[in-house]
Chains A and B, each alone.
Chain A
C-alpha cells in the first residue's frame, strides 16, 4: 500500500458524459500528479499540482481539468467523454524533498 488513495476504482459511463476522479495523497505530500494509462500510449503525464497550485501540464486535453483542494486531495474532471478516453487514470504523490512518486491504485474508466 503506497498511502495514496483513489476513488472510485471503476467507473462506467457513456459518451458525452462528465466524471470526476478523486485522489488523496500520502500524508504530508504536497505534490499530486495525474497520469493516463492506455494500452497504446503507456503512462502519459497529464498535470501536476503543488499545494493547491497548478505547476506543470503534460498531454492534457482541454476537456479535462483538475484542481487541488486545501486539504490537498485532488480531483480530475473529464467532460464530453469519448470512447478513446477509456483508460486507467493514476494519481501519484511526492514529498517536497525527494524525487520519488508514489502511485495510487488507479481508477479504471470505461466509456461506452
Chain B
C-alpha cells in the first residue's frame, strides 16, 4: 500500500519567516495530495490540495509544489503568523478508487512572535 513520509516532525520559526514541510510518497499512481491543518483538540481542516496533473498551486500565503518524478510534494507558508501554529498533515490518495487517504505523521509548526 501507499506510504507517506513527512519531515520535519517539528518546525520552529519566527513570525514573518517562511516555513517548508516536505512529504514523499511511495506509489507513483497516487494522484491527489491534500494538506490539512489541525489545531490542538480540533478536527483536521483542509488548507490546500493539488492533483498530479499540476506542478504548483498557490492560495495567498500558502503554496504546494509537486514533483511526480521524485514522488515528493511540499507545503510552503510565507510571512508566518502566530495563528499558523498547528500540526500540519500531508496525505496521498491511494490509487484503486474511493479516494482513501494515507497521511504522513504530521509536522508541529510553532511560530514565535
Contact = CB atoms under 8 A, between A and B. Distances in A.
Q: Do A and B bind each other?
A: yes
Contact size range, B: 20 to 34
Interface string A100-112: 1111111000000
A69 B93 CA distance: 25
Contacts of A31: 98-99
Interface residues of A, number: 22
Contact of A104 (B43, B46, B51, B103): B43
Q: Which applies to chain A's interface (DSSP): helix, strand, loop or mixed?
A: strand
A23 to B, nearest CB: 12
Given A99-B32, A100-B49, A33 B100 contact: yes
B34 A102 contact: no
Interface of B: 32, 34, 36, 42-46, 49, 51, 89, 91, 93-94, 97-106
